[in-house]
């Protein structure tokens, strides 16, 4: 929302050069506010916490040090890592390239294209916080099953987006919002509660599992730029959208095997 206010509105009102001015002003004002009104914590006698180390802790749990390859051997980690890889590939591809696609292919105005991209972000911002609640209430807390269903929703929404005409603007906004809800919810579920639950169930290795899973997801976010550039030049932008739907479906398919593990071992 802030990006929309600081980009689309100034660009329409004062031209593209204003895009560099207002963010700079906001940074300067923020620095002034922090300097003037945010005192040093030591001023209030607040000091850094010194937590006990594992050796001095009275807890019976012992932290395990595992290599990355050992973490990948934990049940469900490979499947969920690859599911997040493809889900983030689709999510970041849409987040970064949807405005360009809207203007270039759909022939939207820059403002309308930015609003379409905003619908994707708002879908994720307001939909993903309820992902765990939805899984708890309707799927008996089967979070991985929720990932599968969210990825099906993402794939169906993107296929519908592909076949919808550029004159069907309300439908495009609905489909874009739905894909934003689905892809962001998958990201939240896998990188957060699912990874933490797997770590707890395997001897308190939440940080290790979370690091590996999120690291694989970040790789998907990185590779999407290279892949989209090659696909768009070689096969056109429709192929990019088909690819986003395809990797979303692939992420859901990979998560199916993790859902089976969830049912067997109550991950």
Q: What is the pLDDT of residue 92?
A: 95
Q: Determine contact, residues 155/249, Cβ cutoff 8 Å.
A: yes
pLDDT of 54 over the 70 cut: no
CA dist 233 and 246 (Å) reads 18
User: Which tens digit of pLDDT belongs to each residue from 176-223?
Assistant: 999 999 999 999 999 999 999 999 888 889 999 999 999 999 999 999
Q: Which residues contact 217 (CB under 8 A, 6 or more apart)?
A: 81, 84, 85, 87, 88, 187, 190, 191
Q: How would DSSP label each residue in 12-74?
A: HHH-TTHHHHHHHHHHHHHHHHHHHH---GGGGT-----PPPTTT---S-------HHHHHTS
Structure tokens at 248: 């979303």
Q: What is the pLDDT of residue 20?
A: 73
In the predicted model, what is the mean pLDDT of residues 12-27?
A: 73
Residue 31 Cα to chain centre, angstroms: 29
In which band, very low, low, confident or very high, does the pLDDT at 150 lie, cut at 50, 70 and 90?
very high
Pick the residue with more confidence: 210 or 166? 210
In which band, very low, low, confident or very high, does the pLDDT at 39 lie, cut at 50, 70 and 90?
low
Q: What is the pLDDT of residue 67?
A: 86
Question: What's the CATH number of domain 71-265, 3.90.226.10, 2.60.40.420, 1.20.1250.20, 3.30.450.90?
Answer: 1.20.1250.20
User: Which tens digit of pLDDT belongs to each residue from 57-85?
Assistant: 434 344 567 888 999 999 899 999 999 99
Q: What is the pLDDT of residue 262?
A: 75
Q: What is the pLDDT of residue 57?
A: 40
In the predicted model, what is the mean pLDDT of residues 32-53?
A: 62
Q: CA dist 38 to 32, 33, 43, Å?
A: 10, 7, 10
């Amino acid at each position: 929302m802030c990006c929309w206010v600081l980009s689309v509105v100034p660009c329409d009102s004062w031209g593209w050069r204003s895009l560099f001015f207002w963010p700079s002003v906001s940074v300067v004002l923020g620095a002034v506010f922090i300097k003037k009104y945010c005192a040093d914590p030591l001023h209030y006698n607040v000091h850094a916490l010194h937590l006990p180390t594992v050796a001095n802790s009275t807890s019976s749990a012992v932290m395990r040090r595992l290599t990355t390859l050992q973490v990948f051997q934990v049940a469900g980690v490979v499947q969920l890592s690859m599911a997040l890889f493809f889900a983030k590939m689709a999510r970041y591809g849409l987040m970064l390239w949807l405005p360009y696609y809207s203007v270039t292919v759909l022939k939207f105005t820059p403002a309308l294209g930015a609003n379409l991209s905003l619908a994707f972000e708002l879908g994720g911002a307001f939909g993903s916080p309820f992902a765990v609640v939805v899984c708890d209430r309707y799927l008996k807390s089967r979070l991985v099953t929720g990932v599968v269903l969210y990825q099906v929703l993402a794939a169906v929404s993107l296929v519908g987006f592909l076949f919808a005409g550029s004159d069907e603007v309300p439908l495009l906004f609905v489909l874009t919002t739905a894909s934003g809800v689905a892809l962001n919810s998958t990201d939240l579920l896998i990188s957060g509660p699912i990874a933490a639950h797997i770590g707890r169930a395997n001897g308190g290795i939440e940080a290790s599992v979370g690091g590996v899973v999120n690291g694989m997801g970040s790789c998907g976010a990185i590779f999407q730029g290279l892949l989209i550039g090659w696909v768009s030049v070689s096969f056109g932008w429709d192929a990019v959208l088909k690819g986003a739907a395809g990797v979303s479906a692939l992420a859901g398919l990979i998560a199916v095997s993790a859902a089976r593990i969830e049912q067997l071992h109550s991950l």
